[in-house]
Structure 1
C-alpha cells in the first residue's frame, strides 16, 4: 500500500496541455514506486476515477499540482472529500498556489504537506521518509504543520536540468493518448506540444508569483536536450508546434540561438516568454535566426509605460516606457509578433492618481498599436502577490487588502476572477475604474482581434473592427454592448484566459 496517485486538476475547457509538472514528479519516482496519473482535463468524473484507484487499497500518497484559478475548483473539494473518505492517505500539494498560501492550506486539515518549489528531490525523499518512518524535517523545499506552527524547510539549490530523468511520455500515453488529448490545434500549428525547458527567473518583480519560490534563480536545460525531447515527440506523435511554458525562455541569447539552429530543419512554429530589456540586447542576427527557425510570437511582460510604475512593481533590469515602444517597432522587421501584457490598477495614495495611471496606460497602449498594429495586448488588473518583505505588498496590506482566511473561500467566483487577474478585489479600485479597464479591453479587442483566435475568420474580423473603430478613435469606451455581443456570439477567445 505505497503506490502514488498524481492528479492534474482541470485547468481548461479545450486544448489541454501535457501535464509537465506532474510528469516531472512521476519521473522522480519512476522505478522506485508505482504511480498513476489522473488528469482532470481528460476525465468526465475525475473524483470517481481517483476513488476507483483508492478503493483498491494500494494507493497511499496523492500528489496534486495546484495553480491559482480554475484548478482550485477541483483541488479543494476533491482533497477534502478524499481525506474524509480515505483518512489514511497522505495529501501532498505542489505548485504556485500552495507555495504562496501555505498557512490557509495546511490549517484546512486535509492537506498534509506542501512541496515549496521544485519537487524532483523533495517529493521522493518525502515518500521515503513517510514509508520508512525516518525524519522529514531536513528535507529541503518542504512546508508542513508542526502543532500550530507552519514550518518551512531550507530551499534547495536549483539542480542541473540536464541531469533530471526524461519525462515518462510513453507511460502518460498509456493513460491518455498524447495525440488525441494533448497535441491541440492552435495558432502555432495543428499539433502543438507544451514543453518546459527551464525553471525560475533571474528577476524579482514584486507582482510575480514565481519570485517567492525561485528567489531570482534560473536553471535551464541545454539547447541540445530541449531539441532531443522535442524531436522525440515530433517523430513519435507528429507534433508540429511548441509552446514553451518557461517563466522566461529567452534568458540566454546563446542558448536560444543554439536551439533555433537545431530546430530550424524541423519546420516547427513556436512561442515563448521573455523580457523586453533582455531581448532588446539580442543582435539583429540572433533575432533573424530565431524567426527563421519558426518563432512566430513572443510574450513580454511590458506591465506599464510609466517608469515610476515599473519601479513600484520592482520590474528590475533596464526596461523603460520608451524601450517598450521602440522594441515593438523593432520586431516588425523580423516578422515576430510581440505579445505585451500590461498590469493596470496598481495602488496609489489617492483615487485620482489611480485613475490617472489607468488613463495613462490606455493612451500608452494606443501608442504601441500605432507603431506596430500587430502587437498583441493582454490586459490584467493588478493582483497582489504575498512576497515577504516586498514594499509593494506592505503597501497593499496597509490599504486594507486581505486574502481569504478559509481555504474553501478561494473557490468563490470572485476569488477565482481574482486569480485570473480580472477582478482584483483591491480596495483602491472603484467599480468605475474596473469598468473602464474592461470596456477599453473590449473595444481594443474589437479593433485588433487577437491573431491567436483561429476560429475568427476574415469576415468576422472585418465586421467587428468596423463596429469598434469609431469608439477607439474618439476614446469612447463606455457601454460597448454591440462589441460585447459579437464577442459573446462568436465566442471570442482571450489567450490570457483560454490559451491559444
Structure 2
C-alpha cells in the first residue's frame, strides 16, 4: 500500500524551533520495513507543501497524520486542500497526542476515517493490512472509527510495542534539506520509551502504557548511534528518551560500547534531579563527560516543597542544587525547567521558585533556566480534576479546539485559567522570567528571521532590535529587584507588537 505520513506545521508560532517528527519517523520506518511504500511530508519545512501534494496524491492510498492540539489549524488546512481542491477520496488516519486524549470528539468530527490512540506502530500496521486485504478492521486495539450505524467506537488500547523490534530509523524519509542539516549538526535518537514515574501534571499519566519503560539494549543503542553518525555525518546526538537514566546497568554498558567502538561525538539527555543521588556516582558522572556528554536536562518544576509534593515529583530542592553542582564540577551544562500557575500554588510558592532561579545562577552562570512555563492540564492526569473543580471548561469538538488554539497563540495573555488565584501576578512573573531565561542573541535571531520572512526594511529591524534589548534589560532588572508590581512594560510590549505587527 502507498502511504503518505504528514507532520503538520505550527501556523501560529513565528520563529518556533523546529521539532524533529521522531515519533512519525518511527512509524514510517517500522511500516516501511514491513514492505509498504511510505512517503513522509513535513509541512514545517516545506513551504510549498500544496505543490508537493498536487504531485503525489494521485498515487496515495492512505494518509496518516500525527498531531498535537496546536497542530489542528494546520491539519484543517491540509484536509481542506486534499479533500476539497484535490478531491482525493482515500482514507485519513489521525494519531498522536490529540487523538489519544480526545478520541471520541475527534472521530465525531467527520474529518477522519480512523484514529489511533497511544503508540501507533502496531495498530497502524494492522489497519494497513486490513484495508489492503479488504478485511474488517473494527477489532484492532487502539483504533477509533464510526461503525455502519454511524456510532463512534474507540477500542481499548493496543498492547505496548516491543521496542527492541524497531529497525534503524530511516531519517532519509525526511526532506532533503533536513537530512543535509544533520551533517555536522545534532540528530535526535530515541533509545527507550515510557517513564516509570507518575508526575501528576504529566501527559504520561493520561496515556495508557506510558509508565511502562522499555528500551533498546546498550548494544542496540550503540548500533543506532554508529548508524546515524556514519550515515548522516552528525556530530551531536540528543537522546529524546523521557528518562534516559532509568537503568544504571544499561548506561554503564552503553558507555562500554561507545568506548569499545571508538565513537567520538557529543550528546545530551533528559535526567531526573534525584538520579544523581540514586545511581549517578562521581565515577559514572565523569565517564559521561569523558564519553561526550555536554548537557543534562531535568525538570526542577518548583522551588516549593509543597508544590513538588502536589506534582508527585518525588524530589526535593536540594536534589536540584546537588545536580547543578555536580554537573558543573565535571563540565556538563545542567538545564532546569519550571512550572508556575498550577492548582494550589500561591505567591509564597512562586517566590520560592524565583529564589531557586537566583541560587542556581549563583552556583554557575552557565546553568540554563527554561521557563517557567505556565501549567496546562492534560485530561486524565491527576491535576486535571483539580482544574475541573475550579470551573474550567474544555472545547468539545475539533472545531472548537482550533478556535481555542488560534486565540491562545495570537493573544498576548493566553495563560489565564480559572484555578489561578492571581492571574495578573502569574502572567507578570512568566513575562519577566521569559526575558530573564532567554538569551538575548536568540531573541534577536528570531526577530531577524521574522524580518527575512516578511521583507521588513532596515528601520523596522533597528527599531525591533532596540525594543527587544530594552524589554529584556527591564525584565532582568525587575527580576533582580524581585519587583513584579505595576507591570507597565507588558502593556507597552503589547502596543509595541501591535505597531510592528510582530
| Partner SS state of residue 312, structure 2 | coil
Aligned with residue 243 of structure 1, among 228, 238, 257: 238
**Separation of aligned partners in 2, 1:148 and 1:418:** 34
**In structure 2, which of residues 272, 277, 295 is the aligned counterpart of residue 275 of structure 1?**
272
Residues 1:469 and 1:112: Cα distance change in structure 2 (over 3 Å): closer
Following superposition, the deviation at residue 145 of structure 1 comes to: 3.7
Q: Which structure shows the bigger proportion of residues in helix conformation? A: 2
Gaps of 5+ in 1: 185-189, 489-500
Distance 1:422 1:196 in 2: 35
In the TM superposition, what is the alpha-carbon distance from 1:223 to its structure 2 partner? 2.1
Alignment of 1:76-87 (within 5 A): 76-84=76-84, 86=87
CA distance in 2, matches of 1:414, 1:6: 23
Equivalent residue, structure 2, for 1:288? 286
Report the RMSD for the aligned CA atoms in angstroms. Answer: 3.5
Partner of 1:8: 7
Alpha carbons of structure 1 residues 16 and 327: separation in structure 2 relative to 1, 3 Å: closer
For residues 428-451 of structure 1, the C-alpha deviation after alignment (integer angstroms, 9 at most, x for no partner) is: 3344123322233145237xx389
For residue 37 of structure 1, what is the aligned residue in structure 2? 40
Asked whether 1:404 is paired with 2:395, we answer yes
Give unmatched runs, 5+ long, in structure 2: 447-465, 498-502
Report SS of the residue matched to 2:126. Answer: helix
Cα distance 1:454–1:157, how it changes in 2: closer, same or farther (>3 A)?
farther
- Is the 2:187–2:234 Cα contact (8 Å) retained in structure 1? yes
Q: Distance in 2 between matches of 1:421 and 1:480?
A: 13
For residue 209 of structure 1, the aligned residue among 203, 209, 214 is: 203
CA contact (8 A) 1:79 1:111 kept: no
Which residue is equivalent to 1:224? 219
State the 1:380 CA deviation.
0.7
**1:105-143, Cα deviation, whole Å (9 max, x unpaired):** 212111122221222211110111223232323322223
TM-score scaled by structure 1?
0.81
Cα distance between partner residues in 1 of 2:443 and 2:276: 26
Aligned to 1:369: 361
CA distance in 1, matches of 2:365, 2:359: 9
Task: After superposing the two structures, state which structure 1 stretch, 97-106 or 18-27, moved more.
Answer: 18-27
Q: Deviations over 1:67-106 (max 9, x none)?
A: 243x333123322443445463211111112211222321
* Of 411-420 and 216-225, the range deviating more from structure 2: 411-420
**1-structure distance, mates of 2:405, 2:419:** 16
Secondary structure at the counterpart of residue 61 of structure 2: strand
Give the equivalent residue in structure 2 for 1:155.
Answer: 157
Secondary structure, aligned partner of 1:251: coil
In the alignment, does 2:110 pair up with 1:109? yes
SS at match of 1:298: strand
**Which stretch shows the higher mean deviation, 96-105 or 117-126?**
96-105
Taking the aligned partners of 2:246 and 2:274, their CA distance within structure 1 comes to 10
Which range is displaced more, 146-155 or 215-224?
A: 146-155
Residue in 1 that maps onto 2:457: none
Instruction: Find out whether 1:356 has 2:353 as its counterpart.
Output: no
- 1:344 maps to what in 2? 340
CA contact (8 A) 1:143 1:150 kept: yes
SS of the residue corresponding to residue 374 of structure 1 reads coil
* Preserved contact between residue 299 and residue 338 of structure 1 (Cα < 8 Å): yes
Q: Tell me the number of residue pairs that the alignment of Structure 1 and Structure 2 aligns.
A: 462
Q: CA deviation at 1:66?
A: 1.0
